[in-house]
Amino acid sequence: MGKFQVKFCILLCWALTSMYSDAQREYFIQRKNLTWVDARNYCQACFKELVTLTPDNSQTLARIINSDHWIGLRKNFNFKNNSGDLTSTVASYTETYFTTHYINDSDSSSPIMNWTQWANGDRLAFQNWYPGWPLPKPSPKPPNKTVCCSCSCTCPARPTTPMTTNAEFTTPNTTTTQSGHNVTSWSHDPTETTEFTPDFTSTDESTTHVTGTKNMTTQRTTPYFSTSAPWTTAEMPLAAQCEKSPVPEPQEPEDEDDSNDKNYIEDSCVAMLSFGPWIEKSCLELLPFICYEDRFMGQVNVTNITFESANLTWMVAPGDISHYRVEVKGQKDNKTWVFDYTGLTHGLSNLTAGTSYSVQVFPVKCKRDLNPENATFYTIPKAVTNLTVSSVEKNSVFLSWEKPEGNVDFYRLTYETNTVKVTTETETVKDLIPGTPYNFTVVSGVNDASKWSYEAHVSACTKPDKVYNLTVSNNTDHSMVVRWDRPVGNFTDIRVVAKNSSGTSLFNATVNHTQQHETVTGLPPATHIFISVTVRVNEGLVGETVNIDSFTTPGPISNLILNTTNDSLTATWLPPNGSALNFTVELSLDQTLVNTKNVSDTNITFINLKNAANYSVAVYAVSGQFKSTAESTYKFTLPNPPSPPKATSISNDSITFAWNAPGNTSTPTYGVKLNSSFWGQSWSNTTSDTKFTFSGLTSGTNYSFSVYTIADGQKSASVGCANFTVPELQEISLSMLCSSSEPLLCDNNTTRTAVLNQLNSTFRNLLDGHIDWRFEQ
Ligand SMILES: *[C@@H]1O[C@H](CO)[C@@H](O)[C@H](O)[C@H]1NC(C)=O
Ligand SMILES: *[C@@H]1O[C@H](CO)[C@@H](O)[C@H](O)[C@H]1NC(C)=O
Ligand SMILES: *[C@@H]1O[C@H](CO)[C@@H](O)[C@H](O)[C@H]1NC(C)=O
Ligand SMILES: *[C@@H]1O[C@H](CO)[C@@H](O)[C@H](O)[C@H]1NC(C)=O
Ligand SMILES: *[C@@H]1O[C@H](CO)[C@@H](O)[C@H](O)[C@H]1NC(C)=O
Ligand SMILES: *[C@@H]1O[C@H](CO)[C@@H](O)[C@H](O)[C@H]1NC(C)=O
Ligand SMILES: *[C@@H]1O[C@H](CO)[C@@H](O)[C@H](O)[C@H]1NC(C)=O
Ligand SMILES: *[C@@H]1O[C@H](CO)[C@@H](O)[C@H](O)[C@H]1NC(C)=O
Ligand SMILES: *[C@@H]1O[C@H](CO)[C@@H](O)[C@H](O)[C@H]1NC(C)=O
Ligand SMILES: *[C@@H]1O[C@H](CO)[C@@H](O)[C@H](O)[C@H]1NC(C)=O
Ligand SMILES: *[C@@H]1O[C@H](CO)[C@@H](O)[C@H](O)[C@H]1NC(C)=O
Ligand SMILES: *[C@@H]1O[C@H](CO)[C@@H](O)[C@H](O)[C@H]1NC(C)=O
């Protein structure tokens, strides 16, 4: 044994555990020195078991250790003659295990086959002995030298092994150890091939063929999976059967026999050398050891999640768990709770709504954390508050709300069949149908969409649309017809209102939604009418108002009166009823339109007209684009007067006047007038000549003369002059008697002059301008 020098770890309690995962199996190399049984107990208490080696883990573990370590293999697990440190747990485990497998054994008293299984009960499917191991049981000393030279051995009935029910182990019938000792051969049919499946499945070499024709020369270079199956050792309980045919005892060197007997260990346990192969050792030796444990894959269930609480339930971890450490971490606020629990449930409270929490439950075994059981969950977010409709348009609705207490990752807005993800607290919902009621639902959500808050509801009706292509037609003096194209979407009715320019309502009607026109009646004539059409939903909600203006038609004018001069015409008339009136005046001469004027006054004067011409005037009342019927009449312009007359010859009783004919007047006649207001004389006459003589006149009298043109029965304005007839002077003497109470007053010159002046003045007033007279004294 001295040649297997091993290095031991100096630090006794350096409980360094190295973990090497092999299909979720973890290995823990323990540096403390224990007997094999104590080591196993320790592994069972704090891990699962002493290690079970496989081709996969063997080499890896060999690289890590640097001295001999106990592994989970011993010759006979049922061997009771040990140190007595077996705990009841171990004992019961072992017993239970074997009991199970002995139940079907027909001969329960037959010896147990050694080297059959690992500490954890796995079949011994892989071996990696150091050459020469395991040591065979030394054969009993032959009684004398004359022993049998040939031994005919018969295999007993094969005991049922716990490994398999149909696999057979085949071994070479002859093996030779390095130490030169023959081992008992186990006769076997070499042609039979046995195949067995190792207990692990993570390797590609899942099957291994072992044939009986191979010899037992152990190879150090293939430590993994020795194809030499050493089922060769003291498995032969059949020495007694060989007694009947003794053979001569061969000459054996006594020394070698002694050495084998010395090394042989009755109750052997197996240690792995620092470079991998195995050797037997006394189970009571103190060695470090390797435990293993399967990685615990637990699960935490989170139930009864509310806004602020949840219940955790986790799986029980295998082995002697002292407690579970629960770590809960809020992802938003980094708030962490740590609890130690021995039970398997825990209620969380005081959580924040709508927040992600991660939970880790660490089962603690021998002060060591096992692989944590994990869960993440969101608490339920709270419902939004103050969900309101801020404004409504015909195609859109603007919603706003307030973020609830706690956390929210986003909101989900649903209406009709639509769902919108919103990250702000406001949303404008577009592409809606006008005039339609909508129900909006907003819920708070968390990132993984696992939890939703209670719903918040609000409803709103979009505004109705407006009418299109609004027109007015069929205007009369009291009505008109309004037409439109239907609005898009829904609405209940349409309101039509007519007003005048000062805003006074003249008409007011509501038409149902199927109608597309309305007759506006009861309007005053010739008025500017303003019509507005509004689409409504349920009376309260109105769409955009569409406006149009038009006019009622005017009635005819009345009392058209024309006044003419020789070159102008003035028309006056009375307007019809109405407020929006203009007039179109058409002036025609001989059925030919010569002038058109639009006026707002009720009179018009046309100038520069022809004289003595028959002008006709037609007047229309106009309101907007509408004209009333025409009212018309005609009138001649006056002829031109002749040129101013002159007296061409004067006598004491006659005067001849002459004048020139007016231009532009053909064959006129003339009216002549002569009068003297002093004498009360007047004459009139007509003539076609351009001179006229009045006779029989009073001499010395001032006569005024006027002449005018007569054309087509029209008289022109008069032109005139005045002239005295030649006087025939007659003297008229006046005698005046002066009497005065005042003496000598009549002799006073001054008085006489005053009287004469007064008399002169009296005559002047009476005669001047009429009569040719003189006053002399
Ligand atoms: C284990 O035993 C070896 C010798 O048998 C010794 O060298 C080593 O220090 C021991 N280790 C501990 C941790 O006691
Ligand atoms: C050994 O051999 C002798 C004779 O050679 C015989 O008498 C004796 O019984 C044998 N011993 C045993 C144990 O068989
Ligand atoms: C092994 O046994 C077979 C038959 O049982 C025999 O033919 C063969 O020679 C034996 N081998 C040795 C090495 O004894
Ligand atoms: C081993 O067995 C063979 C034949 O079976 C024999 O020749 C040889 O002497 C034996 N060796 C020892 C050490 O017994
Ligand atoms: C037995 O081993 C020896 C030496 O390793 C080798 O030469 C021989 O071929 C082997 N025999 C069989 C049957 O494998
Ligand atoms: C198994 O090994 C024990 C010693 O550990 C021994 O007493 C027993 O006889 C062996 N059993 C068989 C069947 O070899
Ligand atoms: C829990 O998460 C940790 C990492 O945080 C991981 O190592 C562990 O394997 C997880 N546990 C389970 C059961 O998956
Ligand atoms: C969930 O809550 C119900 C009633 O409050 C309770 O009976 C149940 O035990 C809870 N579940 C868990 C896993 O805590
Ligand atoms: C968790 O829930 C699953 C499915 O409901 C169930 O199968 C499992 O047993 C639960 N685990 C625990 C630890 O309660
Ligand atoms: C939470 O912790 C992470 C790192 O662990 C850090 O980046 C982050 O700022 C922390 N948040 C708060 C709110 O403390
Ligand atoms: C569930 O959690 C609530 C709140 O923390 C707690 O009161 C209750 O006891 C828990 N229920 C269980 C079965 O743990
Ligand atoms: C929850 O918080 C309140 C106030 O912060 C505290 O009084 C109460 O003990 C807490 N409950 C738990 C179970 O931590």
pLDDT confidence of residue 401 = 94
Q: Which residue is associated with the tokens 């929490």? A: 357
User: Among 95-99, 360-364, 486-490, whose mean pLDDT is lowest?
Assistant: 95-99
For the whole model, what pTM was predicted? 0.59
Looking at the structure, tell me whether residues 273 and 352 fall in a common domain. no
Contact between residue 353 and residue 307 where contact means Cβ atoms under 8 Å apart: yes
Pull the structure tokens for residue 176: 């030779």
Q: Are residues 395 and 436 in the same domain?
A: yes
Q: How far apart are alpha carbons 141 and 319 in whole angstroms?
A: 49
Q: What is the pLDDT of residue 216?
A: 33
Contacts of 492 (CB under 8 A, 6+ apart): 513, 536, 537, 538, 539
Confirm whether 250 is domain-assigned.
Answer: no
Task: Give CA–CA dist 45/24, Å, rounded.
Answer: 19
Residue 317 lies in a domain: yes
Domain check: are 84 and 211 in the same one?
yes
Instruction: Report yes or no on 157 lying in a domain.
Output: no
Lowest mean pLDDT among 174-178, 366-370, 633-637, 758-762: 174-178
Predicted pLDDT at 367: 87
Ligand 1 mean position, distance from CA 536 (Å): 99
pLDDT at 715: 84
Question: Is residue 248 situated within a structural domain?
Answer: no
Distances in Å between the alpha carbon of 146 and those of 140, 143, 184, 251?
Answer: 15, 8, 19, 10
Give me the amino acid identity at 643: S
3-state secondary structure of 70: strand
**CB-based contact 287:34 (threshold 8 Å):** yes
Do 515 and 658 have their domain in common? no
Query: Is the separation of the CB atoms in 662 and 624 below 8 Å?
Result: no
Pocket test for ligand 8, best of 299, 303, 304 (most atoms within 8 A of CB): 304
What pLDDT, on a 0 to 100 scale, did the predictor assign at position 145?
Answer: 55
Using pLDDT thresholds of 50, 70 and 90, give the confidence band for residue 402. Answer: very high
| Spatial distance between the Cα atoms of 337 and 702, rounded to a whole number of angstroms | 141
More confident residue, 776 or 229: 776
Amino acid at 447: N
Which atom of ligand 4 is nearest the CA belonging to 256? Answer: 13
User: For the ranges 68-77, 203-212, 373-382, which has the lowest average pLDDT?
Assistant: 203-212
Which of the listed residues 437, 461, 485 is the one where a domain comes to its end? 461
290 phi/psi in degrees, rounded to 5: -120, 125
Complete DSSP assignment for 508-572: EEEEETT--EEEE-SPPSS-EEEEEEEEEETTTEE---EEEEEEPPP---EEEEEEE-SS-EEEE
Atom 9 of ligand 12, residue of closest alpha carbon = 350
Q: In angstroms, what is the span from residue 252 Cα to ligand 12's centroid? A: 87
User: What is the CA(142)–ligand 2 centre distance, in A?
Assistant: 10
Largest CA distance in the chain: 239
pLDDT confidence band for 377 (50 / 70 / 90): very high
pLDDT average, residue stretch 698-707: 90
Ligand nearest to the CA of 8: 1
Q: For residue 185, give the ligand 4 atom closest to its CA.
A: 5
Q: Which helix (H) or strand (E) is 672 found in, with range? A: strand 669-676
| Percent over 70 (pLDDT), the chain | 76
Which is higher by pLDDT, 55 or 440?
440
Weakest mean pLDDT among 18-27, 371-380, 486-495, 665-674:
18-27
Q: CA separation (Å) from 611 to 241, 617, 640, 660?
A: 176, 16, 6, 17
Ligand 6 centroid distance, CA of 729 (Å): 206
* CATH number, position 340: 2.60.40.10
Q: Provide the 8-state DSSP code for 134.
A: S
Q: What is the pLDDT of residues 267-281, one digit of tens each?
A: 788 899 988 898 888
Q: Which domain holds residue 422?
A: 385-461
Burial of 669 (0-12, 13-18, 19+ CB in 10 A): middle
Kindly state the average pLDDT of the residues 480-485. Answer: 94
Quick check: helix, strand or coil at residue 360?
strand
Least confident residue range of 448-457, 593-602, 665-674: 665-674
CATH number at 132 reads 3.10.100.10
Query: pLDDT tens-digit profile of 34-54?
Result: 888 888 888 888 888 888 888
**Domain final position from 608, 636, 664:** 636
Query: Is residue 232 within 8 Å of 183, Cβ to Cβ?
Result: yes
Q: Which atom of ligand 10 is nearest to the CA of 332?
A: 13
Residues 617 and 565 in one domain: yes
Q: Which of 327, 333, 334, 355 to mutate to test the pocket of ligand 10 (most atoms within 8 A of CB)?
A: 334
Q: How far is the CA of 384 from the centre of ligand 4 (A)?
A: 95
Q: What is the pLDDT of residues 124-170, one digit of tens each?
A: 888 888 888 787 777 666 555 544 444 444 444 444 333 332 323 33
pLDDT, average across residues 491-520: 92
Lowest mean pLDDT across 109-113, 509-513, 531-535, 736-740: 109-113
Q: Which residues make Cβ contacts (< 8 Å) with residue 166, sequence separation at least 6? A: none
Residue nearest (by alpha carbon) to ligand 5 atom 11: 215
Kindly state whether residues 439 and 345 are assigned to the same domain.
Answer: no
Which of 431, 461, 491 terminates a domain? The answer is 461
Q: What is the position in ligand 6's atom list of the atom closest to the CA of 75?
A: 5
- Ligand nearest 329 Cα, by number? 10
Residue 246 lies inside a defined structural domain of this protein: no
Mean pLDDT of the chain: 77
Per the model's pLDDT, the better-predicted residue between 414 and 175 turns out to be 414
User: Domain check: are 198 and 57 in the same one?
Assistant: yes
pLDDT digits (tens, 9 = 90+) for 238-247: 333 444 444 4
Residue whose CA is closest, atom 2 of ligand 4? 182
Considering the domain architecture, whether residues 665 and 604 belong to the same structural domain is answered as no
State whether 72 and 100 are in the same domain: yes
Structure tokens at 416: 């009709």
Assess whether 86 and 202 both reside in one domain: yes
528 within domain boundaries: yes
- Evaluate if residue 705 carries a pLDDT over 60: yes
pLDDT digits (tens, 9 = 90+) for 233-266: 333 333 334 444 444 444 544 444 555 566 777 7
Does residue 266 line the site of ligand 6, with CB under 6 A? yes
Percent of the chain with pLDDT over 90: 37
| Rounded average pLDDT over 336-354 | 90
Give the span between the Cα atoms of 624 and 73, in whole angstroms: 119
Question: DSSP characters for 173-234?
Answer: S--B-TT--B-------TT-EEEE--S--SSS---EEEETTS-----TT--SS-S---TTST
Q: Select the more confidently predicted residue: 627 or 81.
A: 627
Domain membership of residue 7 (yes or no) is no
Confidence of residue 112 (pLDDT cuts 50, 70, 90): low
Domain assignment of residue 156, yes or no: no
State the Cα–Cα distance between residues 180 and 633, nearest whole angstrom. Answer: 162
Tokens of 227: 């194809």
pLDDT tens for residues 422-462?
Answer: 999 999 999 999 999 999 999 999 998 889 999 999 999 99
pLDDT of residue 140: 66
Average pLDDT estimate for 94-111: 36
Q: Is 399 in the same domain as 454?
A: yes
> Is residue 176 in contact with ligand 4, taking CB distance under 6 Å?
no
Task: For residue 14, give the ligand 1 atom closest to its CA.
Answer: 13
Place of tokens 């991660």: 358
Would you report the helix, strand and coil content of the chain in percent, each value rounded to 5?
10, 35, 55
Count of structural domains within the chain: 7
Q: Which helix (H) or strand (E) holds 586?
A: strand 582-589
State the pLDDT at residue 247: 46
Residue 758: Cβ within 10 Å count: 10
Which residue owns the Cα nearest ligand 10 atom 5?
334
Mean pLDDT of 479-500: 93
Q: Is the pLDDT of residue 606 over 80?
A: yes
Asked if 309 and 265 sit in the same domain, the reply is: no
Beta bridge partners of 50: 291
Q: Whose CA is nearest to atom 9 of ligand 6?
A: 111
Pocket lining: 8 vs ligand 1, CB cutoff 6 Å: yes
Distance 409 CA to ligand 8 centre (A): 27
